Amino acid sequence: MANNQKIAIFGTSGFSREVLDVCVDLGYREIIFIGYGGKEKEYFGYPLIDEGDLLTLKQDDYAFVIGIGDNTIRKKVADKYESLQYINLIHPSASFGDKQRQRIEEKQGNIITAGVRITNNVQMGNFGIFNLNCTIGHDCIIEDFVNIAPGANISGNVRLSEGSYIGTNAAVLQGDAIDKKMVIGRYATVGAGAVVTRSVPDNAIVKGAPARQAESTIKGNVQYINGSNREKNHNNRGGGAHPRPDFFPQSLAA
């Protein structure tokens, strides 16, 4: 059961509803979605408010979570509203190695969904997404604003740098040693089903088995998603792994 039964979820897309599922399983009773500039007052049967009304929720002692899969936009939200009470949302079925749960609770904003396993001596960042049934091996370093998609497996001695994205069912093989890690670079993307056998540079896009670099670019211009390149623009702002035009918030995406 959640200690504070009131929570507000940033985002109005498929991933935000998956975050809703975790909130319900944890026993939250008052759940509100936060959107931007729309006329709708409900989202899938739950109250929907404009970001301009955040102060009221803060005063009412709501906890907050950012249900936005896009790493860059999630960072913008966290930076803009840094004074909010962001919690770690951890599904009851997730499991952890020795002292690992304590390490996570020292951080903020992480979303850990059903079936996730995080093993031993993993250094955690903030505002990460650990999606269904992904696994994190021993002695890994997980930096801020990462996104690990369903079924992905991160072996031991791996460093996921800030903003990196690991696609569905991808595997990152083990680094050489605790002091010689396999590194996935800042805002790099590992495609769905890829098998990573060597370190990946910053902003790179890799795919295949073994994974090979398809393109190195700035994440904001081209994003590799589940086996294909997809051009991003201001009218295509994704909520989860797949961009959606109703993505929150337009005020931060420009």
pLDDT digits (tens, 9 = 90+) for 210-252: 999 985 443 443 443 333 333 333 233 223 333 333 344 444 4
Query: Which residue pairs, CB below 8 angstroms and at least 24 apart, start in 43-48?
Result: 43/12, 44/17, 44/20, 46/20, 48/12
Does residue 150 have a cis bond before it (omega within 30 degrees)? no
Number of structural domains found in the chain? 2
CA atoms of 16 and 66, how far apart (whole Å): 8
CA atoms of 7 and 83, how far apart (whole Å): 15
Judge whether 254 lies within some domain. Answer: no
Mark which of 49, 80, 111 sits at the end of a domain.
80
Q: Which residues constitute the domain of residue 144?
A: 95-232
H or E element, residue 143: none
What pLDDT is attached to residue 40?
81
What pLDDT is attached to residue 2?
54
Does residue 249 have a cis bond before it (omega within 30 degrees)? yes
- 172 with 195, same domain: the answer is yes
Which residues, given as ranges, of the chain have pLDDT below 50?
A: 1, 216-254
- 136 with 204, same domain: the answer is yes
Ordered alpha helix ranges (H), the chain: 14-26, 54-59, 71-80, 100-105, 250-253
Judge whether 16 lies within some domain. Answer: yes
- 139 with 225, same domain: the answer is yes
Q: What's the pTM value of the predicted model, to 2 decimals?
A: 0.85
- 106 with 216, same domain: the answer is yes
